[in-house]
Structure 1
Amino acid sequence: MARSVRPSRPTSFRSFRAVSATRARSRGGRFSVLTLDSLTALRALSTAAALNSVKEMGMNTDVLVVGAGPTGLALSIDLARRGVDALVVEKADRLFPGSRGKGLQPRTMEVFDDLGVLDAILAVGGTYPVGMVWQDGERVGEHRMFDPAEATEDSPYNAPWMVPQWRTQEVLFARLEELGGRVSFGREVVGFEQDADGVTVRFAAGSDVRARYVVAADGGRSVVRRTLGIGMTGETVDPNPLLVADVRITGLDRDNWHVFPPRGESGYLAICPLAGTEDFQVVAQFPEGTQVDLSLDAIRAVVAARSHLAAESVTEVRWASDFRPRAALADRFRSGRIFLAGDAAHVHSPAGGQGLNTSVQDAYNLGWKLGAVLRGGAPAALLDTYEEERRPIAAQMLGISTGVHRGEIRRGEATRQLGLGYRDSSLTEETRTAPSGLRAGDRAPDGKLGDVRLFDAFRGPHWTLVTVGVEAPGLPESVRVVTGEEQPWYGKGLFLVRPDGYVGWAGEDASTLVGYVGRRVTR
């Protein structure tokens, strides 16, 4: 069972927003700049609006999101920009304070580009440092954590970007408030009942909430999943418990990820500088059956015993937790009007940085579908495709993260998540008889088509038709059309790109496109 120590971490948006403003001006950014005072005022107004809105609706909302982690916040941002009323409830009294999921993969960076938080994420993070292996107080060699990759026109984000989880959540939270969304802290779910029209959720304190749909983003120990009786199938990846802690430490440079191999019966120690902060993340492995001590004195003793540093080099512990790496997949991702997303649906080893990223992309897949059903007039059956598409992806990513943990897979192309897609989905229609290269179901690449950057065209809650060397047919105004004569990553043809950046339909002509749009794009 994981335990955590959570010292107070002051939340301030002033510094990263100042940098974000500079980046936004240089890149035509889409992230508004708020001072700390205006953010505080906005939060107060948002809270008041939330209470009034809920009161006026008789405690009703379109979507109740349980959990204010990266999954719940990303989903709520997507719903907010689609005009869907959503309320996030969080058991804790504040955002999660630790660094746990610190790696953002290139595909998640593309998602954040679309959600309007990329400039802020770039401002507060940094690249991963090169690993430095130590032995007996001497540097004995470098260790490359990731296979190198060059940014290309079709894939502009080429490598993982380090942002401590607590800071990623601050960025997402600020964006949600900017869009008028709301989070209600100190709201512990204790039960619920669902019927044909919605779900009534009960809390340890406060009034019930009635929602048309509920999304459980409440972590690996999800109360919602357990109450539903949905099982988790999985395995222990490693029986040896791990300590992970955010600390202040002296005597180490911030240019390297410092690795201290096991000595004797002791497990390994790794100390990584957390980009955009003054903190280091300490990870230490212990023998099976060890009860990990999370105190400052215990962490100091571990660092001193396994490295050349003195115990006093650890000056502060800002957050600490222990866990046993495991991999598990929920047997179902949906029960009636309740959906599972993120760690509530799949639990990963932290190796390879797949857990948070897969979770954010769950939200990205579910958000546009809930929006289409609740605001776009799409049939409720569209929501069946969430489990159809995301559960196989989660299973695949669990295999990768487990393989990385056991040293069987390198961090590289597989962990960047750019090759994931939905070719076998019931939403996918490939009408060409012998397609080569890009196919329906694949991630839609970036690049230029005429004078338009495609990711700029995709950004927003709409569908996009990419037409290359073919005349565009008449389509509803809700479909943005981009035309050009040549595009190397697409080839000649028509490509209808879903709101989540995957090609839903592809063809040489528009003979079946109008029918697909009528079935899938209702407005």
Structure 2
Amino acid sequence: MTSVLIVGAGPTGLTLACDLARRGVAVRIIEKTPEFPRSSRAKGPNPRSLEVLEDLGVVDEVMASGSGPLVMRKYRGGQPIADTHPHQGSGPTPDAPYDQGRLIPQWRLEEILRDRLTGYGVSVELGTELTRLTQEDTGVVATIADGRRIEARYLVGCDGGHSAVRKLLGVPFAGRTAEEQVMVCGDVELDGLDRGIWHQWFDEDGAVMLCPIPGTRSGWWFQAGPERDDEGRVVEPSRESFQRLLDRHARIPGLRLTDATLMSTYRVNERMADRYRVGRVFLAGDAAHVHSVAGGLGMNTGIQDAFNLGWKLALVVTGRAGPGLLDSYEEERLPVAAWTLDITSDRQRAVLEAIKEPGGGLDVVATPETTTLGLGYRWSSLSRERDARDGRLRAGDRAPDAPCRDAATGAPTRLFEVFAGPHFTLLGFGPGTAAALRETVEKHGDVVRAYSVDAGPEGLLDDRGHARSAYGTTEDSLVLIRPDDYVGLTAPADGARAVLDYLDGLGR
């Protein structure tokens, strides 16, 4: 019996598999398609997902394989009328090293995650379609289309908006399909356009958008309002229909599409599951929620679902936490999905209004909210304040980064480097925390790494004050960081008991 079976090998499933595998959890991941898709689909990770990918050890490859956000050139009547950079003037800060998302085709991101997973000795099992599942007291039995059975202690459905797992569980997927909001999209090949620009033609009778796909010589993401026949019905997308749309709006003689693949008709769906857990089975990513593409939060919400669930499953299956810890997954992530549906619906309306005006375009979706750096879990049962002070970071908030130095060697380091990996992190600001750090390591050193900050020859030096500034602390105090890099607990310097009670009581 494997510990966790993951159904679906997109970014959500692969993120979860990597996180579990690096924690030593026996994991299998199955995918019904016979070969890995070459779809570009999602345009890339946002700043919070880049932080997740850094923790998983793959962000350097992602950054090298992608590009930063591009200048958006807007046209009217075939003529360029405005260039806009949605992130102009922004930059990384000591507490947030990624201020912009990264453009990278989904297939390349999946390749990077699969390579990392292979390094842990786990491979995606292709051509393996789930057709039935049953639950027992000690696990789940998954039946495959060819009759094989896979037994697992837990199963996670990361199998997309048409999730077989969700359907087999009978979980409702309530919401709406906006039939009036239709788009055709695909990957196309063409030469003759500046590849440093995201070209956007908006006219009264429709729109075409072309964004260059990083890592390709002539590949582009194609999105457009659909062509319709004489009776108003949407024309099935094809290279020819894409060419007609391009000719109508771009009006550039000789600009020809040499290929078009992965074409589809997209209607805005806004739906979410009312439960993320049924017994030993969980839903994550598009299997649990779908929404407008405005804001680029689909893949990112799935990656962040997986990062929330991974450490909890690992602690439970290794016996370091009680099974009740798994209830916090739905408690924390379902409200985030509801927020995501709201914000993407709002951004979709903003785009539809903006493109009616000359110079308006997709840049209206680039708001601070869509970085998801501000999302947290203050409402969670895992967020506990024992040292609430005005101006300081709260339990449930994202744990910020900060540049520091190793107190013993003087070498530069960052809090994110300290946090990275399958463990809790206890920061002790000031010498008054020494006893609490020591007691915590003595009892929970297998799951916690403890670091003093500005407290002597070992630990970390906050010589520029960035860490204290980010965490809002001027007095000696303790901050316990969860494995998914959110603040779990704040406590006074002598709060060892609060830290031990938190760790002892996980899921119990």
TM-score bracket for this pair, using the shorter chain length: 0.7 to 0.9
1:494 matched to 2:502? no
Q: What secondary structure is seen at the aligned counterpart in 1 of 2:265?
A: strand
Aligned-residue identity in percent: 40
Letter in 2 for 1:477: G
1:185 matched to 2:126? yes
1:477 matched to 2:445? yes
Q: Shift of the alpha carbon at 1:286?
A: 2.5
Q: Deviations over 1:456-507 (max 9, x none)?
A: 1001001100111232312121311121135211124210000000010101
Q: Deviations over 1:24-54 (max 9, x none)?
A: xxxxxxxxxxxxxxxxxxxxxxxxxxxxxxx
Given that 1:465 and 1:494 are in contact with CA atoms closer than 8 Å, whether structure 2 keeps it comes out as yes
Counterpart Cα distance in 1 of 2:293 and 2:88: 18
2:291 match: 348
1:274 matched to 2:251? no
Q: Shift of the alpha carbon at 1:61?
A: 1.2
1:33 match: none
Aligned 1:412-427 pairs, distance under 5 A: 412-427=367-382
Letter in 1 for 2:482: R
Given that 1:373 and 1:380 are in contact with CA atoms closer than 8 Å, whether structure 2 keeps it comes out as yes
Deviates more, 1:404-413 or 1:482-491: 404-413
Q: What secondary structure is seen at the aligned counterpart in 2 of 1:339?
A: strand
Counterpart Cα distance in 1 of 2:245 and 2:6: 39
1:462 match: 423
Q: Shift of the alpha carbon at 1:237?
A: 4.6
Letter in 2 for 1:496: L
Q: What secondary structure is seen at the aligned counterpart in 1 of 2:327?
A: helix
Aligned 1:109-188 pairs, distance under 5 A: 109-146=50-87, 148-188=89-129
Structure 2 segments unaligned to the other structure (5+ residues) = 352-363, 407-412, 455-461, 463-467
Aligned 1:398-437 pairs, distance under 5 A: 398-407=341-350, 410-437=365-392
1:246 matched to 2:187? yes
Residue 75 of structure 1, aligned match among 4, 16, 19: 16
Counterpart Cα distance in 2 of 1:477 and 1:466: 14
Given that 2:227 and 2:241 are in contact with CA atoms closer than 8 Å, whether structure 1 keeps it comes out as no
Q: 1:302 to 1:501 in 2, by over 3 A?
A: same
Q: 1:521 to 1:119 in 2, by over 3 A?
A: farther
Question: Cα RMSD (Å) of the superposition?
Answer: 1.9
Counterpart Cα distance in 2 of 1:433 and 1:110: 26
Q: How high is the TM-score relative to the length of structure 2?
A: 0.87
Structure 1 segments unaligned to the other structure (5+ residues) = 1-59
Q: Shift of the alpha carbon at 1:146?
A: 4.6
Matched residue pairs, number?
Answer: 461
1:294 matched to 2:237? yes
Counterpart Cα distance in 2 of 1:244 and 1:178: 34
1:519 matched to 2:481? no
Q: Deviations over 1:423-466 (max 9, x none)?
A: 11111111124342311111110003443411010010011001
1:44 match: none
Q: 1:185 to 1:310 in 2, by over 3 A?
A: farther
Q: Deviations over 1:202-245 (max 9, x none)?
A: 11125111111110000001011011111112233562321111
2:282 match: 339
Counterpart Cα distance in 2 of 1:90 and 1:417: 28
2:225 match: 285
1:102 matched to 2:102? no
Given that 1:450 and 1:484 are in contact with CA atoms closer than 8 Å, whether structure 2 keeps it comes out as no
Given that 2:311 and 2:422 are in contact with CA atoms closer than 8 Å, whether structure 1 keeps it comes out as yes
2:458 match: none
Given that 1:332 and 1:387 are in contact with CA atoms closer than 8 Å, whether structure 2 keeps it comes out as yes
Counterpart Cα distance in 2 of 1:273 and 1:335: 41
